[in-house]
Structure 1
Amino acid sequence: MTAYTVGSAHAAHEEHIKGTLARGMLADFAVLSDDLLGVAPERIGRLTVGATVVGGRIAHDVGALTVS
């Protein structure tokens, strides 16, 4: 997974703003109701989206995120 996060940010010379989930860093991610890689393929279509974050900003949240 590092190749998709830290490695990609490093390759784009953007590791100072991207690549990790940390305060002050940009992030695009979705919070799903189950582990996308762990569920049976036939269940993927029934997963729900609890939240999405785009560019470090919350775009959608039904209570799945806890910001401290």
Structure 2
Amino acid sequence: MLLTDSLMPQAVRKGISEHKLPAFQYLIEHGQYYENLVTSFPTMSVTIDSTLLTGKYPDAHHVPG
């Protein structure tokens, strides 16, 4: 899993179209890429990463920011 904080899909699309992101292009072509995701709250990396890894929201995994 590759997680990039604050990287907007518009920037990824532009970088790929300008051939400046070959690694991202490879990962997108050989994996799964989602542009329309909504973060959990609170929006702090530790809480969000815990949500991604456990599949549960902060009220269930109890990992605070």
TM-score, structure 2 as length reference: 0.29
Structure with the bigger percentage of helix: 2
Higher relative contact order (CA 8 A, sep 6+): 1
TM superposition score normalised by structure 1: 0.29
| Greater strand proportion | 1
